[in-house]
Amino acid sequence: MEDTKSTISVKIFGIGTAGINILEEVAQAALPGAMLAAVNTDSHSLATSSASEKISLEAKSGRGPGPSGDSKRSRAVAEEHLPKLKRACEGIDVVFLVAGLGRGAGTGITPVLAQAAREAGALVLAFVAMPFDYEGNLRLQQARRGLEQLKNAADGVICLSNQEASKLIDEKTSFVDTFKILNSLLAEGVSGVWRLMAHKGLLEIHYADLCALLRERRGDSSFATAEAAGATRSREVIDKLFAHPMLDGGKTLAESDAVLVSLTGGPDLTMSEVQRVMEHINGKCERAQVVMGAAIDEAFRERLAITLIAVRGGSVPIEKEEATEEQPQQAPPESRPTEDLSSRLLSQESGTRPQSRFVPPAPALSPDKLEQLARQTRSRKGGSKMRQGQLPLEIISKGRFDKSEPTIHKGEDLDVPTYIRRGVSLN
């Protein structure tokens, strides 16, 4: 194997139970020079980890995240240990974070650790797995919130959907083996990016260029890995790569803004094979900036491996997102949906009852009363202040009920209209 780049230090953190399981798969790949660290609030999973460094996060207040795996409580515990996490990242150039989102520890701790690593000056890449659909809405919603927090904290987030990746697995595969295969997929992604940065090769990706590329585009990322051996390895590896469900038949590449390609082969890797592979990849990348690296490894003699990372778009900066949350932007009037009846009824429940639109007609007035009203109106026009006048209202005849007994209640004739009895002015 070629010498690794001595100027770049890499540390891989497995966070939570799922992340530590993925870290065990990474450890089997034997990445020389890469430091492995396990982080969790569960001491049992740390005890069984083969990582050389184990970081236990316990609540200083005596209240741990609890058996329910509450991500908010896990995040609070991680924030209590922020100085410890930052010390674990000091002097490291590249930090890889591997975790499963949806449960407490991985979802809550990973964004905090990403923030600590960036504050320590490291380039932070996160490899996370999203839960299956059958795991329920609560876990899916918790995973999505954690993913958004992680995007704002890390330089790049590579997300593996367990639901989509399960398409690669045979239906007869056992439940336990399914998770082992999914963990190995994320481990292959970590190994591929590590080889891209750590190995000296004919085509290298400089660390500074990688930092600039990822930090300018902190958006959604997808990855795919493929490997083939034999005389037709270059053709087979391309077929396997484009059949990967994470690339959606090449649609992901067409929508990407940047694509990182890591090729690893043995000393027998030919220029025509490299050219054939890259022509197919470039043909799918309609508008993406393609960055390629090639490494030579003696262990890959007669083999060819590809790791591809596609970055789409960019996330909103943290400062801008916080301002957006505080002052939500309203849609222009022409684009707002018409208010429906139910929303109006709901708004009326918390407010005052609207006045009735029905106004009874005023009774007919005699000529003398009309003249009196006109004099009052002329006198008001000459005053300095406008005052409401009292209409001279008359009681209307009861018609055929005129000779019936009046309805008296507490000294008031209820047969007389209410606005007359109460002296309400009508305009």
Residues 161 and 308 in one domain: no
Distance CA 305, CA 192 (A): 8
Residues 249 and 102 in one domain: no
Total number of domains constituting the chain: 2
Domain termination residue (choose one: 145, 170, 200): 200
What per-residue confidence (pLDDT) applies to 68?
46
In the predicted structure, residue 81 carries a pLDDT above the cut 50: yes
Mean pLDDT of 290-317: 79
Indicate the range of 240-254, 298-312, 328-342 predicted with least confidence.
328-342
Minimal CA–CA distance to 105: which of 22, 18, 16, 13?
16
What per-residue confidence (pLDDT) applies to 13?
96
Q: Please state, for a pLDDT cut of 90, what percent of the chain lies above it.
A: 20
Question: What are 345-386's pLDDT values in tens digits?
Answer: 344 444 444 444 444 555 666 677 667 766 766 555 554 455
Residues 256 and 123 in one domain: no
Q: What share of the chain is helix, strand, coil (3-state, %, to 5)?
A: 45, 20, 35
Residues 9 and 92 in one domain: yes
Question: What are 3-37's pLDDT values in tens digits?
Answer: 445 568 899 999 998 999 999 989 888 788 889 99
What per-residue confidence (pLDDT) applies to 41?
87
Other Cβ atoms closer than 10 A to 333: 6
Which residues is 13 bridged to in the sheet? Answer: 37, 97
What per-residue confidence (pLDDT) applies to 330?
44
Q: Answer yes or no: is 172 within a domain.
A: yes
Domain of 109, in residue numbers: 1-200
What per-residue confidence (pLDDT) applies to 50?
85
Question: What are 254-288's pLDDT values in tens digits?
Answer: 888 888 888 888 999 999 999 999 999 999 888 88
Residues 163 and 249 in one domain: no
Which tops the pLDDT comparison, 205 or 421?
421
Q: Are 69 and 99 in contact (CB under 8 A)?
A: no
In the predicted structure, residue 220 carries a pLDDT above the cut 60: yes
Distance CA 100, CA 159 (A): 10
Average pLDDT taken over every residue of the chain: 76
* Helix and strand numbers, DSSP H then E, in the chain: 16, 12
Q: Answer yes or no: is 208 within a domain.
A: no
CATH code of residue 284: 3.40.50.1440
Residues 1 and 111 in one domain: yes
Residues 18 and 118 in one domain: yes
What per-residue confidence (pLDDT) applies to 193?
78
Question: What are 86-102's pLDDT values in tens digits?
Answer: 999 999 989 999 999 98
The CA angle 120-224-105, to the nearest 5 degrees, is 45
Q: Answer yes or no: is 313 within a domain.
A: yes
What per-residue confidence (pLDDT) applies to 276?
94
The CA angle 215-220-225, to the nearest 5 degrees, is 100
pLDDT band at 344 (very low <50, low <70, confident <90, very high): very low
In the predicted structure, residue 323 carries a pLDDT above the cut 50: no
Other Cβ atoms closer than 10 A to 39: 32
Q: Which pairs count as long-range contacts for 368-376, CB under 8 Å and 24+ apart, including other chains?
A: 369/394
Residues 75 and 136 in one domain: yes
Indicate the range of 191-205, 237-251, 320-334 predicted with least confidence.
320-334
Residues 1 and 118 in one domain: yes
